[in-house]
A and B are shown apart, each in its own frame.
Chain A
Amino acid sequence: MIRVRLERREVTPAWLQVAIPIASVLVTLVLCAALVRAAGADVIEAYRILLLSTFRSGYDVQDTLVKAAPLLFTGLAVLVAFRAKFWNIGAEGQLMAGAVAACFVGERTFLPAVSLVPLMIVSAALFGALWALLPALLKVRLKVDDVVTTLLLNFIMLYGVTALLEGPWRDPKSGYPNAPSVRIEAEFPLVPGLGVHLGVALALAAALLVWWMMSRTTLGFRIRAVGHNPAAAAYAGIGVGRVILTAALVSGALAGLAGAGEVGGVRFQVTSDLSSGYGYAGIVVATLAELNPLGAVPAALFFAIVFNGAGTMARATGVPIYLADVIQGVALVTMVAGRLFATYRPRLVRPLAPAPAPGPEATPSPLAGRGGGVAAEGR
């Protein structure tokens, strides 16, 4: 039987960094085609609408950009954390923390009108960062598992916000449990020429800033060193705990900014369904971007296009709108699996003699190479 041997790569070729995400998306679309067929729709037609309806009109392009902004923010938040091996699954809660702070500031009548937008942005980043600091402190000081705490804090935040919205913070003029709307002056201005709110531009700027931070600053170097090998980083004199805390603060701040954008540019108030899973989608964006800040931009745009097109596709073809959610999940799984090719090189291997019928090209068992490899059953 032919086996596939995986050999560890010394370096990952640059083209693979681009090819793997693209291949993952293509594989995802092929896999999901079965679901489209199950819905009795024409696959090509459904995908054409799903992927191209964004480009029908200027309005759709704007809508997609606005949807991409929180995905980009949470994607950046997740990738900064993951780079430091701080498993922040809590972008959802940190986004909410930022939204609450932004909305609270945006309602204050005593603040000068011009200070509202900058204060909303700063306070959202601050609250998001604080909400991420708690699990990071627990991890660094007490070695409490960060996956569980960041996950649970999402629910604590959500229940806390719902309690506020159904209690003291409820807008008396509204029939729904919503916070009062922010002041008119607190609504984010539109970016001239683009017609999208300020948060979109901030998200793009954040991607550049995070890229610069990760690749050009000492902090970025330290984050990568800690994530790569904490023991070696500590030996090299890097304060591992402090680096993790800093990464958590940056991560939480970025997620908080997503909340500011949603309050300041889209909803103008806090509702309990403000996020609709942006925090978890951030994990998909970050993974598809291979934790590269610049890669997060196309990744966020791709999912914004899918989310934007799903509604149109559902109306036109009858394929359930939830195809977008399936695509998101499948893309994450195929991407994680595809990442293996960045670390390992697959190689077909024939088993050791005695082979039943040794062909002319029967080779002896190839040496496993330095450090050995992984033997996986061939398909």
Chain B
Amino acid sequence: METLVTLLDVGFFAALVRISTPLLLASLGELLSERSGVLNLGIEGIMLFGAMTGFTVAYFSGSLWLGVLAALLAGALAGLLMAFLAVVLGVSQHVSGIGLTLLATGLSFYVYRLVFGQPASPPNVVPFRPWPVPVLSDLPVVGPILFNQMPLTYLALLAVPAVAFLLYRTPWGLDLRTVGENPRAADAAGVNVWRMRTQALVIGGAMMALGGAYLSISQFNAFTFGVVSGRGWVAVALVVFGLWSPWRCAAGALLFAALEALQLRLQANNVLHVPYQVLLMLPFVMTIVAMAIVSRNARAPAALLVPYRKEER
């Protein structure tokens, strides 16, 4: 037990915040989509597509920020495609989402192979470096944990209050939530349901892709085919786990990130004789258990999965 405690030092918490970045961005993106009434299962593919696009553009332009911009655009485009399928055509969100994931995944592999071929060693970029915040980063404990992080990590941390503000404190957020709960009432009140949902999917898609790009140009310095490895599905679970609230969603992301950070520590220090896969598995098991426990109270947006057709009742 003592060894376990010594593992939980400042470095551990700094790693936790770092690891939570893609989960925060992706789950908040998914949350926006779901609050508007659309489950976007394209998330896993969109993250990979963002990782590939961000890396490729950063590699050739030499600018990480251009890579970020490209990833945002790629994600927005993928969100637009999801909107065309799930909002305009109103087809099954489950199946079109899985289709988008397969499509974006295949496309990422295809484009990467086309651009880079099969080099002996994978091409890499110089990734983002930490941006210490003046003064604040010198604070004990809090400084290294929160204020000596990568720029995209700050962005992810700021995205939590930003999404909460957007959802609960702006007319746009009210419209979005109404569209997700009762599209017919929203429509009657003059809100354009299709437009709101499309906006949510486009913004959400951009956030998912940014989460992916963080992996390939910030957390790591290269794009690999397994770089996302299920983080998108974890984000879908986090939204349920967090009962569709940005704050609880973020808390869940930090918790899941803590498990992954712990797993890395234990693997490196070789103290606990538990297979590391058990710790990797834990977030998934916990989500299912949590879903079973809260299922009676869990209230997904009422119109989730229901396409809106103006003239149909």
Contacts and interface: CB of A to CB of B under 8 A. Distances in A.
B270 interface: no
A332 B291 contact: no
A151 B100 contact: no
Interface in B1-52: 39, 41, 45
Interface stretch (B162-170, B182-190, B197-205, B229-237): B229-237
A305 interface: no
A87 B94 CA distance: 8
B103 A155 contact: no
B292 interface: yes
Nearest to B307: A374
Given A151-B233, A325-B110, A326-B107, A138 B288 contact: yes
A71 interface: no
B287 interface: yes
Interface string B232-245: 01001100100000
B77 interface: no
Contacts of A340: 89, 91
A212 B105 CA distance: 36
Nearest to A161: B277
A155 B284 contact: yes
Interface stretch (A162-170, A191-199, A226-234, A236-244): A162-170
B240 A145 contact: yes
Contacts of A374: 90, 309-312
A152 B288 contact: yes
Contact of A89 (B90, B98, B109): B98
Nearest to A40: B114
Nearest to B91: A336
Contacts of A159: 277-278, 280-281, 284
A326 B106 CA distance: 4
B88 interface: yes
A371 interface: yes
B139 interface: no
Interface in B294-312: 295-296, 300, 309-312
A130 to B, nearest CB: 15
Contacts of B292: 138, 142, 144
B209 to A, nearest CB: 17
Interface string A350-379: 000000000000000000100111111100
Contact of B311 (A145, A162, A368): A368
A211 B96 CA distance: 25
A328 interface: yes
Interface string A211-254: 00000000000000000000000000000000000000000000
A373 B237 CA distance: 35
B134 interface: no
Nearest to B290: A144
A302 interface: no
A283 B291 contact: no
Interface string A258-293: 000000000000000000000010011001000000
A345 interface: no
Contacts of A333: 81, 85, 96, 99-100, 103
Contacts of A163: 275, 277-278, 281
A325 B105 contact: yes
B92 interface: yes
A287 B107 CA distance: 20
A19 interface: no
Nearest to A320: B113
Interface in A328-343: 328-330, 332-333, 336-337, 339-340
Nearest to A146: B94
A349 interface: no
B95 A322 contact: no
Interface string A302-328: 000000000000000000111111111
A147 B277 contact: no
A322 B110 contact: yes
Given A38-B114, A151-B236, A283-B98, A373 B105 contact: no
A320 B285 CA distance: 37
Contact of B295 (A87, A89, A143, A337): A143
Given A142-B296, A144-B291, A159-B278, A323 B95 contact: no
A138 B291 CA distance: 9
26 contacts: A142-B295, A144-B292, A148-B240, A148-B287, A148-B291, A151-B233, A151-B237, A156-B284, A159-B277, A163-B278, A163-B281, A166-B275, A166-B277, A280-B98, A280-B102, A322-B109, A325-B102, A326-B110, A327-B106, A329-B104, A332-B103, A336-B91, A337-B91, A340-B91, A372-B311, A372-B312
8 closest Cβ pairs, A-B complex? A329-B103, A325-B106, A329-B102, A332-B99, A326-B106, A322-B109, A163-B277, A320-B113
Interface of A: 8, 35, 38-39, 87, 89, 138, 142-145, 147-149, 151-153, 155-156, 159-160, 162-163, 166-167, 280, 283-284, 287, 320-330, 332-333, 336-337, 339-340, 368, 371-377
Given A320-B114, A330-B103, 14 more contacts: A87-B94, A143-B296, A145-B240, A148-B236, A148-B240, A149-B291, A155-B281, A159-B281, A160-B277, A287-B99, A321-B113, A322-B106, A328-B102, A333-B81
Interface of B: 39, 41, 45, 81, 85, 88-92, 94-96, 98-107, 109-110, 113-114, 230, 233, 236-237, 240, 275, 277-278, 280-281, 284-285, 287-288, 291-292, 295-296, 300, 309-313
